[in-house]
Amino acid sequence: MRIGIVNPYALDVPGGVQLHVRDLAEHFIAQGHHVRVLAPADEDAALPDYVDPAGRAMPVPYNGSVARLLFGPVTAARVGRWIDRGAFDVLHVHEPFSPSVSMLAMMAAEGPVVGTFHSSTLRSRVLLTFMPLLEPHLEKLSGRIAVSREALGTIHRHEGAADAVIVPNGVNVDRFAQAPVAAQWQGSDERPTIAFLGRLEEPRKGLAVLLDAMPWLLAARPGLRLIVAGPGDPAEALRHTSAEVVAACEFLGMVSDVDKARLLRSVDAYVAPNVGGESFGIILVEAMSAGAPVIASDLPSFRDVLDGGPAGVTFRTGDPADLAATVLAVLGDRSRRDELSALGAVRARDFDWSRVAADVMDVYETCRAAHPEPVHTASANRSRRMLRGRG
């Protein structure tokens, strides 16, 4: 099958959607499909050979974060040419609500087009303003995928009773399960280690809540270490913390996929202190895949990933005291940690790409059966009709 995938966010910035698109493309390529990915990126960026750069993105506040997006008439023309060159059997646009190349591709394309909705948002004033313009194009979607119940709610809020299936984000489970343990991040009874991965300066990721919990944690477990990985300025993140907390924190900055897997395989627990705006929680699945006991905010999307509770432990969202008490309870009970590790590893298999990609392919094949002609733009379709008329 010829598959075109459109990613709205710049590929040189880490994020769940970017990771999902990359892994999905590589899974289908490994199965023998022809896959091209269109995404914002500089022309000279180091990209996989299946990625076509759409141009340089601009930072834009979006969904409680800052996303690097790409829009405008020049980009729209480029997207249209890419669609017509690709002659795809199916076009898969991610986050079609975002003002970037995915929205432009959805607006331009005709034929079997699938939209995946990742975000969990309340009613957006911007979207409400532009919905009359978007609605005719959203109606062209042959299939809709939501990565979670939270993302499905976003579709319903903005599209009414639009039909969609839930297909979660995927993870290469074995990549994490088989990663080697790294001695420098491995904990002990005297010096347990907990980890946080995320953008340091993005409030919804909740690092501030975890840092506020650290004095309680250190009072009970003086040797505890917090290992933090992700982009951002550690000095800014630690600006209001004590010297004791600063000494207990180790900031790794951006880490490679290999080191992320090694880190999660090594720590005594992974803590997800996110305070909102999460539609899924891919890092929870990665941690479970690696065997790290998961301690997470009591967000609906996180509870769903944790199978309602058995695969992890939750605490009151935004409550550093409850976070600290929950972490200490897990660190103080080795048998409980072993149980969480085992249950999490089983739950993670539900999100392995071998299952997730098969569900995505089912959507592709259903849409293709309903629209057997290759994806094209409206202008290309007019050209075809003109040629047929001359014949």
Q: What angle do CA 205, 41, 7 make, to 5 degrees?
A: 65
Give tens-digit pLDDT for 161-214: 568 899 999 999 999 999 999 999 999 999 999 999 999 989 999 999 999 999
Highest mean pLDDT among 3-17, 71-85, 98-112, 263-277: 263-277
- Nearest by Cα to 202 from 298, 318, 66: 66
Give percent of the chain above pLDDT 90: 69
Structure pTM?
0.87
Domain of 297, in residue numbers: 173-350
Q: Is there a single domain that holds both residue 232 and residue 124?
A: no
* Domain containing residue 373: CATH number: 3.40.50.2000
Joined together, the tokens standing for residue 300 give: 């609906």
> Does 353 or 387 have the greater pLDDT score?
353
Q: What mean pLDDT, rounded, does the chain reach?
A: 88
Q: Indicate if the pLDDT at residue 5 is higher than 90.
A: yes
Q: Is there a single domain that holds both residue 304 and residue 336?
A: yes
Give tens-digit pLDDT for 114-139: 999 998 764 555 555 555 566 777 88
What was the pLDDT predicted at 70? 60
Q: Is there a single domain that holds both residue 122 and residue 27?
A: yes
Q: Is there a single domain that holds both residue 8 and residue 33?
A: yes
SS3 assignment, position 356: helix
Q: Is there a single domain that holds both residue 182 and residue 157?
A: no
Q: Is there a single domain that holds both residue 144 and residue 289?
A: no
> Does 332 or 150 have the greater pLDDT score?
332
Rounded average pLDDT over 38-67? 74
Phi-psi region of 230 (alpha: psi -120 to 50; beta: other; left: phi over 0): left
How many domains does the chain fold into?
2
Q: Is there a single domain that holds both residue 267 and residue 324?
A: yes
Q: Is there a single domain that holds both residue 236 and residue 258?
A: yes
Residue 105 near residue 85 (C-beta atoms within 8 A): no
Give tens-digit pLDDT for 246-286: 999 999 999 999 999 999 999 999 999 999 888 899 999 99
Rounded average pLDDT over 306-331? 96
Q: In the chain, what is the greatest distance between 2 CA atoms, to the nearest angstrom?
A: 83
Give tens-digit pLDDT for 333-370: 999 999 999 999 999 999 999 999 999 999 999 999 99
**Banded pLDDT at 390 (limits 50, 70, 90):** very low
